[in-house]
Amino acid sequence: MVSLNAVLGVATMLFGIGLYGLLQRRSLVAMLISLELMLAAVSMNVIALTSRAGADASMGQVVVLILIGVAAAEAAVALSLFVAIHRSAHTIDVEQLSEMKG
Amino acid sequence: MSGPIQAALLAQAAPLAASAAILLGLRRHPAAAAAVAIAALGAGFAASTYLVLAVANGSAMAQAVWLPMADGRGLAFGVLLDTLSTTMALVVSAVTLAVMVYSLGYMAGDPGFARYYGFLSLFAAAMLGLVLASNLLQTLVFWELVGLASFLLIGFWFDRPGPAAAARKAFIMTRVGDVGFLLGVLLLIRTLGNATIPELVAQAGPGGAFSPRFTAIVASLLLMGVIGKSAQGPLFTWLPDAMEGPTPVSALLHSATMVAAGVYLVARLHGLFAAAPDVMRVLLWVSLVTAVAAATMAMVAEDIKRVLAYSSISQLAYMLMALAAGSVAAGFFHLVTHAGFKALLFLSSGIFIHHAHSNAMREIAAHSPTRQRAATIGLVSGSLALAGVIPFSGYFSKEAVLATLGVHAGAAALVLAYLGAGLTAYYAARMVFLTLRGGQQHGSPTAPHPTLAQQAAATMMGVPVLVLSALTLILGWTGSWLAARLSPGAEPHAALELGAGPLTALALAGLGIALAWREYGAKGAARTGFVDRFPALRAFFADNWYLDRLYGASVVRAAGWLSRAARWHDQQVLDGAGDGLAAGTTRGGRMLARVQGGQVQMYVAIAVAVLVALAVWLAYAEGLR
Amino acid sequence: MSDLPLLTLLVLCPFAGLVAVLLIPGRYAQALRIAAALSALASCVVTALIVRAFDAHAAGYQLVERGAWLPEAGIGYHVGVDGLSLPLLVLTAIVYLTGVLVMWELELRVKEFFAFMTLLVTGVFGVFVSLDLFFFLFYYEVAVLPMYLLIAVWGSTRKEYGAMKLTLYLLAGTALVVPAVLALYVTATVHTFDLTQLAHAGFSPTVQRIVFPFLFLGFGVLAGLWPFHTWSPVGHVAAPTAVSMLHAGVLMKLGAYGILRVAMTLLPEGAAYWGHTAALLATINIVYGALVALSQTDLKFVIGYSSVSHMGIVLLGLATMSVDGINGAVMQMFSHGIMTALFFAAVGFIYDRYHTREIARLGGLSRAVPVASAFFIIAALTGAGIPGLASFWAELLVFLGALRTWPVLAVIVVGALIVTLAYSIRVIVLAFFGEPREPHPVVADITPFLSLPRAILAAVLLVLGFYPRLILDVIDPAARAFVEALR
């Protein structure tokens, strides 16, 4: 059995990579991918912690399944928004999409 | 309401109503305007005549509450009829009537003819109101209205720069004195609860409630108003400039009305002023210096109206010095005779000016002035009265003034007054000689035959002049009547005794006239005065003793500087502070807005950083527990 | 007659005008003008009825109407009028009517203009009749806020700047007033916004001394109190004619009225404690305003600063807390309101025709447009305190009150009359006398119809100048009761 710390460490690494990507990449698509990575890290944490906490382990698995579903839906919505943004602004570079700035 | 009270109200209300009717409805009907104005003032004149006859002694008063006051009783306005006010009302309405008739000719054809009569009526109403007022505050009200009317009349030809500036100067300069007057009245109301003239005179007198200190303060404040209005002391320089108005207006303002108002006020409140001997001493010396100073200025003036203006200042000073020395009768007597001969002089000079189209005496002389018979008679008889030559009116009244000074004021004052009298005779004679003699004739020897309208105008102007000329011979004999009327208790002064005093005065007058004859009148005279030999002195005299320059360099400049400083302060400091605060707020907002840069990744970074910080802080806090 | 709710009706008159203006489509400009004029006329009629129903001899509030509004919070509908507010109602009605008539030639967005103007007047009437602080402040804001749009849209010279400055200053004033009112509400023993009840709440001296400056300064901003006056000349200059008239003629009075009705009524001890400061500021107002007016180059700026100076006289009168002073202050509010309205109406005509207000470019107007000029000159002479015109009496009473309380300040203020006369005469001589300084278009003199509003204003000044008791007899009993209550 893998130790809890190992799983949490992998999840943290995954979250860190995702955060780095989110902050670093300019492309909205790349940022979305990074976001998915962070979400995956969260899912891992939930699985790992529920399985060891002595509670009903299946509860954690249900939550993660819902999370995966939400993430998929979210990706779909996000990608369609990106297409719409690309149509109107001809770019999906976040640096240039700053119309709302104060 | 008794007859005299009604007459007094009529005398004020008729010109006021005429003025309103003319200015509101008759501006385009000159003939009707003049008719209304003269009819109204005729009614005022008749009412005043009746008043003089009806009020032979004592006093009558009728008042109504005009202004609610803190004490609950309110301030009452009304008319005060006694020998002084009724006599003054007669003098005022007579002179004004003469001027109105004269103006029919003088102002004929002026585009503002109707407006002129509207202003004249307003002036007459204000002046009569001033004379008949029963309350000192009411006096002040009409006093200011006289100032307003004179502003309008001096600036009658308002589209020329000269009259406009002169009107402004007259108004503001007299206001300087009026501030003192207002303060004095306020102080009286504060102390007494009202300002009814007989009452405040009684309170100031022996056994009254006023302390000597208070009386002195009030008297000196009121004196400021007198000095401003009667063009005395340091505040007289507005008067020569006021000659920019139409000549009949000058006649009106300088004879019996506006400038005489100050003298009248001192006579009216003589009881109060007499209770402040120190103030009276100041007035005496102010008027003595003014009398001589103005005479020196008249000696070098080239403009006939300016000569007359300086002579007004000087003669007003004589009235005031008589009052300051203690004699209401003498001062008022001189006021009456001066009203006659000064109006006469102005109206005569107006005829010359009308013909020569110039105020310069040497210019008038070049237009064969002696052909204006009435004006010549007027100028000569008026000047003789001014110079104090027996039997013209000025001799008697000036004699009364000098006699008063001799009794009450001491030698130094008398010497100054005699000096002024001699100079007066000199400049009066100089004026006559310069105007009437020895000009090079360059008008056409045969004047074009005057049209009918011109003849009518000449008649209108000639009749008042001749009437006033006759009066210079008559008014001199009213002295004892006036004295008996105004101060019945006092013994009549002996003006007709040819003692040392009168002889000295006559000799000085003769000397002055003789000197003027040598310099200006005689055949082949150089037509330059002895003052002309000292250019610096001449410039000093001709330039109002440099007072105007002094004011220009000090008060006027300081006011301008102060005003610009206040304006700068307002724009830069106060408004700047407001604007600065607004600009600072805007800038601060911009700075904070930079955080909201529209960069999603920056938002995320900040959110993460804050979360991490929170987590660390929570963990730390947990660890402490 | 007396059972009609006249005061409510009065507030409803301009409001009905507002509704009518909103219902009429914008393209019927003439109908809009007539609707506004009718509403103004109705206000005048109702005001006349109020004057008739008013018993001048009785002190205290009359024509009172009461109703529950939000009893839980202590808010009630309570209106009434006394001798201190009645002249201001008359003033507002006159300025409203003449203001509408003066704007008859307006062509730009007529509908919106009259909508905002009627809204503003609704607020002003509301303030003057309200005896409940909540409604007082509500109407106060209703009166103040339309100014921004009226100036920013229909104004001239730097209009957005002027409008924004005015709004910010006035809101700053409100920001002082509202917390002060809430503080009173909280500290009072009775939980009510009713002025008449709060007046008997007996605030402790400490509370009074702390709260009074907030109210005084807050309302003072609107009254043009030095050093918070700079919004007012700038706003006057930017505003269109009728708005200037309402602004200087009526709106600035709201501030002074607030000090009188709220600050001094509720906090007499506070007023006494801060009296010397208030009097000093008022004196600075008078002298400073006159001095600044002396060197202005724009006709409207001269009038603007003269307003600052004249409002100082109102404030000084209030600060004396004496019968004479209050009498004078209220009368000065009235006569200054009429006078500035006439001022701005006269200047409005000149600006419409000559397209300049620069004194240096005018000159000789009395020759070119004698009647229009005469109106300006009458207003200027009123401002200079010439007797025979209404302001003289008001100023006299204020001076008299001040001489009793602060002799030194009174002497300074009376001395400032010289400056007042100097700037008035300066404008008359430079702009109206003399010759035109540059060629101007030939302009026809003012038409009788456009003279009408100006003539009404001038007539009021002359009549009151001749016989001041017409108004003082109304003010006096109320002023007496007011001063009595202060002790």
pLDDT at B438: 65
B341 touching C (Cβ < 8 Å) = no
User: What average pLDDT does range B545-565 have in this prediction?
Assistant: 87
CA of A27 vs chain B CAs: smallest distance (Å): 11
Is B32 in the C-facing interface, judged by CB distances under 8 Å? no
| pLDDT at residue B190, as a whole number | 87
Q: What percent of chain B has pLDDT over 90?
A: 27
Q: How far is A96 from chain B (nearest CA, A)?
A: 8
- Neighbouring CB atoms inside 10 A of C71's CB total 10
Which residues in chain B are contacts of A31 at CB distance < 8 A? 600-601
Residue (of B86, B62, B65, B83) closest to B74 by Cα position: B65
**Using one digit for the tens of pLDDT, what is the confidence trace for B223-251?**
999 998 888 888 888 888 888 888 889 88
Write the single-letter amino acid at B239.
Answer: L
- For residue B258, which amino acid is it? M
Q: Check if the interface score ipTM surpasses 0.85.
A: yes
Tell me the mean pLDDT in the region C27-49.
91
pLDDT of amino acid C219? 92
Contacts of C291 in chain B (CB under 8 A): 562-563, 566-567
Any C CB within 8 A of B566 CB: yes
- CB burial of residue C339 (10 Å; 0-12, 13-18, 19+): buried
Write out chain A residues lying below 8 Å of B610, CB-based: none
C292/B563 Cβ within 8 A:
yes
Which of C243, C284, C292, C266 lies closest to C117, judged by CA? Answer: C243
Q: Is pLDDT of B30 > 50?
A: yes
Among candidates B186, B563, B575 on the partner chain, residue whose Cβ is nearest the Cβ of C400: B186
What is the nearest CA distance from A94 to chain B, expressed in angstroms?
7
Q: Which of B254, B221, B314, B228 is nearest to B127 (CA)?
A: B254
pLDDT-derived band at C356, boundaries 50, 70, 90: confident
Name every chain B residue with its beta carbon within 8 A of the beta carbon of A23. 601, 604-605, 608
Which residues in chain B have their CB less than 8 angstroms from residue A100's CB?
Answer: 598
Instruction: Say whether pLDDT at B594 is over 90.
Output: no
The answer on pLDDT for B446 being more than 70 is no
CB-CB neighbors (< 8 A) of B155 in chain C: 429, 433
Q: Does A54 reach chain B within 8 Å, measured CB to CB? A: no
Query: How far is Cα C98 from Cα C460, in angstroms, rounded to an integer?
Result: 12
C-alpha span between C393 and C385 (Å, rounded): 8
Three-state helix/strand/coil letters over B372-416: CHHHHHHHHHHHHHHHCCCCCHHHHHHHHHHHHHHHHCCHHHHHH
Contact C368, C440 (CB under 8 A): yes
In the numeric block, which tokens belong to residue C47?
């005001």
The DSSP call for residue A93 is B
Would you state the pLDDT for residue B37?
A: 93
Question: What element of type H or E holds C78?
Answer: strand C75-81
Q: Please identify which residue in the block is written with the tokens 């024509």.
A: C63
Q: Chain B residues with CB inside 8 Å of A22's CB?
A: 601, 604
**Mean pLDDT, rounded, for C151-155:** 86
Task: Give the pLDDT of residue B450.
Answer: 66
**Residue contact A23–B605, C-beta within 8 A:** yes
**CB contact B591 to A (< 8 Å):** no
Tens of pLDDT, residues B180-224: 999 999 999 888 888 888 888 888 878 778 888 899 999 999 999
Amino acid A1: pLDDT: 66
B584 close contact with A: CB closer than 8 A? no
Structure tokens at B469: 């000329």
Q: Which chains touch B (3 or more CB pairs under 8 A)?
A: A, C
Would the CB atoms of C387 and B164 count as touching at under 8 Å? no
DSSP state of B301: -
* 3-state SS class at B198: helix
Q: Does B604 touch chain A (CB under 8 A)?
A: yes
Q: What distance lies between CA C65 and its chain's CA centroid?
A: 25
Find, in chain B, the residue whose alpha carbon is nearest to that of C308: B570
Which residues of chain B from 419 to 458 reach within 8 Å of chain C, CB to CB? none
Q: How far is B597 from chain A (nearest CA, A)?
A: 5
Interface membership of B611 toward A (CB under 8 Å): no
Do B15 and B40 touch, CB atoms closer than 8 A?
Answer: yes
Beta-carbon separation of A94 and B604 below 8 A: no
Counted residue by residue, chain B has a size of 625
Please name the member of A95, A98, A102 whose beta carbon is closest to the beta carbon of B593. Answer: A102
Query: How many other β-carbons are positioned within 10 Å of the β-carbon of residue A18?
Result: 21
Which of chain B's residues have a Cβ under 8 Å away from the Cβ of C425? 151, 168, 171-172
Nearest one of B553, B397, B568 to B472, comparing CA atoms: B397
Q: pLDDT tens-digit profile of C219-268? A: 999 998 988 888 888 888 888 888 888 888 898 999 999 999 999 988 88
CA distance B422 to B427: 9
Q: Is residue C58 within 8 Å of C205, Cβ to Cβ?
A: no
Q: Name chain A's partners: 3 or more CB pairs within 8 A.
A: B
CA distance B448 to B456: 16
Q: pLDDT at residue B598 above 90? A: no
> What's the confidence (pLDDT) of residue B371?
80
Strand partners, C75: C70
Q: Is pLDDT of B495 > 50?
A: no
Residue B443 has pLDDT above 60, yes or no: no
Q: Given this model, what pLDDT does residue B496 score?
A: 45
Residues from chain A that touch B596, judged by Cβ atoms under 8 A, are 101-102
Q: Does B598 touch chain A (CB under 8 A)?
A: yes
Higher local confidence (pLDDT), C1 or C472? C472
Residue of A nearest to B592 (CA): A102
Q: Which of B586, B591, B599, B600 to mutate to test the interface with A (most CBs of A within 10 A)?
A: B600
Provide the pLDDT for residue B38.
Answer: 93
Tell me the average pLDDT across B475-486. Answer: 83
| CA nearest to C101, candidates C34, C11, C17 | C34
CA distance C53 to B430: 72
From chain B, pick out residues whose CB is under 8 angstroms from the CB of A19. 608
Q: Quick check: B65 and C469 CB within 8 A?
A: yes
Sign of CA dihedral C193, C198, C202, C204: positive
The larger pLDDT score, comparing residue C200 to residue A53, is at C200
**B601 → chain A, closest CA residue:** A23
A102 with B608: Cβ contact below 8 A: no
Q: What is the mean pLDDT of residues A49-65?
A: 80
DSSP E strand stretches across C308-422: none
Which chain C residues are within 8 Å of B175, Cβ to Cβ?
A: 417-418, 421
pLDDT of A59 strictly over 70:
yes
Mean pLDDT (whole number) for B523-549: 82
Check CB contact under 8 Å for B598 and A97.
Answer: yes
Nearest to B402 by CA among B207, C198, B394: B394
pLDDT of C1 = 44
**What number is the average pLDDT over the span B3-30?**
89
Chain centre distance of CA C245: 9
Question: Do chains C and A have 3 or more beta-carbon pairs under 8 angstroms?
Answer: no
